[in-house]
Structure 1
Amino acid sequence: MTILERANQLLSENKLKEAEFHFKSALEADPNQGEALFGLGRIAIRLEKYPQAVYLLQKACQRLPKVLDPLFALADAFDGLEKRSDAYEVLHYCTKIAPHNGESFYRLALHHLTYGYIKKAKQALLNGLGCPDHPVTPYIYYELSQLKGNNVTSKQIAHMHTLLSASRSTQAKVVLHYSLAKSYHNSGDKTQAFAHYRLANEMQYTLCTPLGEGFEQYINTLIAQFSTTFIAEQQDTLKASFIPVFIVGMPRTGSTLLEQMLCQHPSIASLGENDVISAKLMAYLGAVNEAPFPQCMANTNTDIRNRLRQMYVDELTKHQLAHRVVINKLPANFQALGAIQTLMPNAVFIDLRRNFQPMAWSVFCHYFGANEPFFCHMDTLARYYEGYDNLMQHWRDTLGENLITIHYEQLVQEPEQSLRKIFSKLELSYTQQCLRYFESHHAVTTLSRHQVREPVYKDANKAYKEYEQAFSECFSRSVKTRPVHPETDPAALGDE
């Protein structure tokens, strides 16, 4: 094994320090070694050192002319610096030097989708399908199928079936089943659509680690750890320079829609679905206290909490966010609201809720890249929902007015009413521009990047009705929720 082969192996194992040592050793032996520069650039991206990544990858591209992978990585580094025009130029260049490579067009299409240029994205996807079959071809079909309208032809459906028969990749087959399902749905063949949705979910579940029996105990541990008394004792007196807002909830409840509406206000910006709380703050605290979350929260002091707060501010600085209000919309943050409250007493939490059946259907018929069981196994989704529901009731009892409940159903039917409720809490003036969110080109990288470029679709909750009987067979258990709550379950709300 050569030194570069060993370096790449270490990088694939995420052993960054060891990989860096080997890449630097290769570079010392040959200063023009483009592969070593490429490796160091990828490490810089992993470490979120984007200026350094750009420098290294530009050098790598010079030494590896017309090699696509360093160019793709360079575009990613520019995206990390939020230099969208530079990223576009790199990706556009890739399509020129490799006009028969589907991945070049796929990456360009994703760039257009991220910033809301739907027509350009569609053309790039079609150009990609005009290239020879490539491992990325199933993903091109998936993105095309998600665009508004019936964009996939019967010939292309036949091609997907051919790819499905030939593929040896379970993940690729999952993507093809989702793509076929949506394509059949758009063409009006509901029987074939549901069959492929079900196959997609069943196949993806084989790639998942089942949700352990300890999940419910974990929720109970959070409830026990973060009592009203504990949270009060852990808080410091602060004069915050910004208001952190956390939109939490289940998947497919409209968090991207709400985020984009709010971000039309000049005083509001967003980190997107950022895992800094769990991946950095709680990981750091766990290492310091040698205990997992939430037990690691038991032994904190003002100095440690200041360090954690600074880590969060550093994340905002990295993304060049100096707004009065900064949103983090990672849904799974619902598990950490107690910890966040101790660190940021002025935080505002938005519990974005959606009726279970339409929410579950939306999860069922969308492909999530992460192989998590609650994305593709409806009984597991029901368990996850019950845990979320129980924990949110606890947060409602302990966090008081810092927690706002917003319903997807109300948000799409009467958006101004829901938005005014939030703006009142943030002490900001409501602006009608919030309802023109679909005209903006803010970056959106979530599954909703297609829908959020359109005006509010008020009938989304009716979508599962066409499949209601068949979909009910995907559950072997009923969903248990707490008794009806006057705020979280208004009697006026229904599936429609």
Structure 2
Amino acid sequence: MDFNSAGSSENFRMLAAKAGHGSTSDVPVFVLGMPRSGTTLTEQILASHPDVHGAGELTKVRRITNRLAPKTRSPEEFRKSVLDMTVDQSKSLADEYLTHIRQRSPDAPRIVDKLPHNFELIGLIRILFPKAQIIHCRRDAIDNCISCYFLSFNEDNIYNADLHTLGLYYREYDRLMRHWDKVFPGQILQNRYEDMVSDQEGQSRRLIDHLGLPWDDACLRFFDKGGAVNTFSRWQVRQPIYSSSVSRWKNYGSAIQPLIDGLGDLAGN
């Protein structure tokens, strides 16, 4: 699905009217945002709680989307497919997703899906799971983009091929997230990476409270948790929180000017 088209407010404005047509389950937790924004760290903190299972980067919502809107169809046709879904269809798709995640943890009260690019699909997620918690991970725009620039994504995510394009993409992501915040006010928790670094316990408690769970001190030692981490952040989340990635962009001087030009006024955020 084309990102720029998907991000259009006109294409998604009516989704709020259908929110609540899916499942009443509060098991799914969606951790999303730009790649390298702290999604893996956030999932590891949550999954250190005994009532939370971290399922990693699941593609199930994306596969549901592809059924609603094959690549041969336009974003407008996808919008129409979503808006035309009946209550029964919404519940069926929600049940399909729940079955998928329950295969990973049959009994966990909360299961985290941390595919970053699910931020494109918050409208569909809200229709399927009106009670699911959504956590939006944010990071300093320049730091976030530089971290993306040095990684090799798959062919579906080639926006990091040059700095200027990366900055423009980030602007579209930011615009879409501002839209979702207006459509679903108070339903998306904002989680800043810099705040996690400066106040680990306070922000960790905030995350656990958002999931409606009692505090557990194990969340402060997320780096001791076993299990596979299949993301670019797998080394970092085996260490205690460190601050060396904050303001990293200052090391690059004029070399990142194309990125700053692409980000525009977001370069200061």
What's the CA shift for 1:457? 1.2
Find the aligned partners of 2:23 and 2:92 in 1 and give their Cα distance: 14
Find the aligned partners of 2:243 and 2:260 in 1 and give their Cα distance: 30
Partner of 2:58: 274
1:135-174 alignment, distance < 5 Å: none
1:306-345 alignment, distance < 5 Å: 306-345=91-130
Q: 1:477 to 1:465 in 2, by over 3 A?
A: closer
Partner of 2:4: 216
What's the CA shift for 1:409? 0.4
Find the aligned partners of 2:24 and 2:3 in 1 and give their Cα distance: 36
1:193-246 deviations in Å (ceiling 9; x for gaps) = xxxxxxxxxxxxxxxxxxx9x7434311xx22433x542335237542x43111
What's the CA shift for 1:321? 4.1
1:56-455 alignment, distance < 5 Å: 215-220=3-8, 223-227=9-13, 230-236=15-21, 238-240=23-25, 242-279=26-63, 281-286=64-69, 292-370=77-155, 372-455=157-240
Structure with bigger RCO (C-alpha 8 Å, 6+ apart): 2
Structure with the larger helix share:
1
Q: 1:302 to 1:404 in 2, by over 3 A?
A: same
Find the aligned partners of 2:60 and 2:240 in 1 and give their Cα distance: 31
Find the aligned partners of 1:255 and 1:395 in 2 and give their Cα distance: 18
Question: SS at the partner of 2:21?
Answer: coil
Find the aligned partners of 1:216 and 1:452 in 2 and give their Cα distance: 32
Question: SS at the partner of 2:30?
Answer: strand
Amino acid at match of 2:10: A
Find the aligned partners of 1:478 and 1:469 in 2 and give their Cα distance: 14
Find the aligned partners of 1:402 and 1:389 in 2 and give their Cα distance: 17
1:334-358 deviations in Å (ceiling 9; x for gaps) = 1110111011110111111111111
2:142–2:259 CA contact under 8 A, matched in 1: no
* Number of positions where the alignment pairs a residue of Structure 1 with one of Structure 2: 264
Per the normalisation by structure 2, the TM-score is 0.88
What's the CA shift for 1:325? 1.0
Question: SS at the partner of 2:246?
Answer: helix
Q: Which has the larger Rg?
A: 1
Question: SS at the partner of 1:449?
Answer: coil
What's the CA shift for 1:381? 1.1
Partner of 1:467: 252
Question: SS at the partner of 1:294?
Answer: helix
Superposed CA RMSD in Å reads 2.4
Q: 1:237 to 1:339 in 2, by over 3 A?
A: closer
What's the CA shift for 1:285? 2.9
